[in-house]
Amino acid sequence: MTSPDPGWSTVPSAAATVDVGGPRRTARSALGRGLLLTLAVVVMGAGLLLVLLAIGSDTGVTGFVAGFVFSLVPVCVVLPALMWLDRLEAEPVGQLLFAFGWGALVATSIALVVNTYSMTVLTAHGGDVSMTGVVVAPWVEETLKGSAVLVILLWRRQEFDGVVDGIVYAGLAGLGFAFTENVLYLGRALQEDGAAGLVVTFVLRCLFGPFAHPLFTMATGIGLGIAAQTSRWSLRVLAPLAGLLVAVLLHGLWNLSTIAGLRGFVWVYVAVQVPIFVGAVGFAVWARSREGRLIRQHLQVYVASGWFTPAEAQMLGSTSERRRARAWAGQIAGARGRKAMRGFQTAATELAFARDRAIRTSSPHGGSDVERELLREVTAQRYALLGSG
């Protein structure tokens, strides 16, 4: 039996049926998109070739395959956590793949070259090679991973809404980097020390530290997320730099603990890394809850104008209520209803964040056009649901 309409995707007033007029957003030219796509493919392809050559020559085929398979374990743990954070306003799949691919291919290949060169220079001058991992590698790797988030922020500014987006993109870049690095270390361990070496390396890298690289880079992502939300130039510069500095310090501390012996590693892990991880999780959950409150807050002006019912605004700010709404739409209209409800939720969420961005930055360039386009989409999805029922 179909449940009664709880006030989701009804027509609240005549305002939701009128033509909002005005021009639609202009899309990027096909040529521009093609050039960007070509450039991304070339850069990723070059990174892939370099990574395959470097890792394959170091681990052999057997080590590479074993490292690849075991490196998937932390990916299966971290990826769902990041996607859970991204549920209120899911980012475009292409951009998520870009962040992961940049970390896995571009950042790792460049870091491999720079770190290797740094070790050569240190050796030639009688320095301690282990200091590369503590002093040089954190700066190189965190800058390269964080650059994935910066590229997305500059490239798709209108879809970068703040701290949660920064955390998700940074986490994916860090996850990609960790994945490729784990393939190298696990494959090398198998090649040099056999199955025992593989197991020890797997426990230390994949079980004790699956969130390490994503966690470090999230600090940079938070800084860039703050920069995306403010109109103050000082914060736009200082917040990302502060985030990068925190990422480098966390990374350097982690690398220092790995060369400090088992006792040093355990002490740093328990006394420092675990509290930092718990604090980061708490902050990420708070940031996502804050997004829900912002959605409800910024949709109130549209409730007052008749574009949404109060029940819809309440539903759109809650992940559990959004899930219930999709289930309800599926009951009354099947798969087409669920698709329409999901589209309605996505457009309404983007509308709320567009308004938040315009208020925060005090520079709503093209904001009216964006608002009109999103209201059109809200109306279209609303009638797609009602028509499919």
Same domain, yes or no: 96 and 170: yes
- Apex 142 CA angle, 99 and 120, nearest 5: 120
User: Which one of 231, 259, 287 terminates a domain?
Assistant: 259
Dist CA 321 CA 88 (whole Å) = 11
Q: Which of 109-113, 164-168, 256-260, 328-332 has the lowest mean pLDDT?
A: 256-260
User: For residue 253, is it within any domain?
Assistant: yes
- Give pLDDT, residue 175: 96
Mean pLDDT value across the chain: 85
Same domain, yes or no: 305 and 167: no
The closest alpha carbon to 99, from 204, 175, 34, 180, belongs to 175
User: For residue 334, is it within any domain?
Assistant: yes
Same domain, yes or no: 218 and 330: no
User: Which one of 232, 259, 286 terminates a domain?
Assistant: 259
pLDDT (mean) for 74-88:
88
Domain count for the chain? 2
The model's confidence at residue 363, banded by pLDDT at 50, 70 and 90, is low
DSSP secondary structure, 307-363, as one string = SS-HHHHHHHT-HHHHHHHHHHHHHHHHHHHHHHHHHHHHHHHHHHHHHHHHHHHS-
Dist CA 239 CA 153 (whole Å) = 14
User: For residue 9, is it within any domain?
Assistant: no
At 260 the three-state DSSP class reads coil
pLDDT for 194-244, tens place per residue? Answer: 999 999 999 988 988 888 999 999 999 999 999 988 878 888 899 999 999
Please report, rounded to a whole number, the percentage of residues in the chain having pLDDT higher than 90.
Answer: 41
Same domain, yes or no: 147 and 49: yes
pLDDT for 91-103, tens place per residue? Answer: 888 899 999 999 9
- Give pLDDT, residue 388: 58
User: For residue 230, is it within any domain?
Assistant: yes
- Give pLDDT, residue 33: 64
Same domain, yes or no: 123 and 167: yes
- Give pLDDT, residue 108: 95
Same domain, yes or no: 166 and 108: yes
Same domain, yes or no: 306 and 227: no
Which residue range(s) make up the domain with 310? 295-388
User: For residue 201, is it within any domain?
Assistant: yes
pLDDT for 7-44, tens place per residue? Answer: 666 666 544 544 444 444 444 556 766 777 788 888 88
Same domain, yes or no: 244 and 306: no
- Give pLDDT, residue 20: 45
Confidence check: pLDDT of 365 > 90: no
Confidence check: pLDDT of 79 > 70: yes
Q: Residues near 216 by Cβ (< 8 Å), separated by ≥ 6?
A: 138, 142, 145, 174, 247, 248, 250, 251, 254
Same domain, yes or no: 171 and 236: yes
Same domain, yes or no: 234 and 304: no
User: For residue 282, is it within any domain?
Assistant: no
At 209 the three-state DSSP class reads coil
User: For residue 287, is it within any domain?
Assistant: no
Confidence check: pLDDT of 317 > 80: yes
User: For residue 284, is it within any domain?
Assistant: no
Same domain, yes or no: 141 and 252: yes
Q: Which of 183-197, 255-269, 356-370 has the lowest mean pLDDT?
A: 356-370
pLDDT (mean) for 381-387:
83
The model's confidence at residue 303, banded by pLDDT at 50, 70 and 90, is very high
- Give pLDDT, residue 86: 81
Dist CA 385 CA 380 (whole Å) = 9
pLDDT for 138-163, tens place per residue? Answer: 999 999 999 999 999 988 777 787 88
Residue 211: other Cβ atoms inside 10 A: 22
Same domain, yes or no: 311 and 186: no
Residue scoring higher pLDDT (209 or 89): 209
Phi and psi (nearest 5°) for 341? -65, -40
